Amino acid sequence: MKLLIINGPNLNLLGKREPDIYGSSSFEAYWKGLQKKYPAAEIEYFQSNIEGEIIDKLHEVGFSIDGIVLNAAAYTHTSIGIGDAVKAIQTPVVEVHISNVHSRESFRHVSYIAANAKGVISGFGLQSYELAIQSFLL
């Protein structure tokens, strides 16, 4: 099984960015732990702050790998382009968020991805990613 985690804008700052909301662990350290825990899942990781690069990555892997775990971060709430890309590809996408977006500002309640995602996981801290990985292993 081949899975890819895609993180969107500002998530390169995990560990430093608003740690009360997003925690104090860097994503790389967390990802290495996931790779060790789920060796059969072959979990790769890509991060970009650029909308078009996220779309290009979805196109690149979205007809060959088994699953995508996508935290499009702020683009979740704004990007019709990423939403259309999720709809266009064949690989199932699970939308994840570290924070519970529904308990935050109303602009975070909108998702251009959710309608075409396999499912949405939000609010479990970094564990949201692990729950998404597990959903592909069921």
Asked if residue 126 lies in contact with residue 32, where contact means CB atoms within 8 angstroms, the answer is no
Structure tokens belonging to residue 34: 């996931």
Residues that bind ligand DQA (CB under 6 A): 10, 71, 73-74, 76, 97-99, 101, 108
Q: Is 97 a catalytic residue?
A: yes
Q: How far is the CB of 120 from ligand DQA (least distance, A)?
A: 11
CA 52, CA 78: separation in Å to the nearest integer? 13
CA distance 3 to 135: 11
Q: Does residue 75 carry a catalytic annotation? A: no
In the complex, the smallest distance separating the C-beta of residue 128 from ligand DQA, rounded to whole angstroms, is 7
From the candidates 30, 75, 97, 112, give the one annotated as an active-site residue: 97
Sheet holding 43-47, edge to edge: 43-47, 3-7, 67-71, 93-97, 119-122
Q: Which is nearer to ligand DQA, 79 or 91 (CB)?
A: 79
76 vs 91 by CB, closer to ligand DQA: 76
Report, in Å, the least distance between residue 41 CB and ligand DQA.
20
Which residues are catalytically annotated?
A: 22, 97
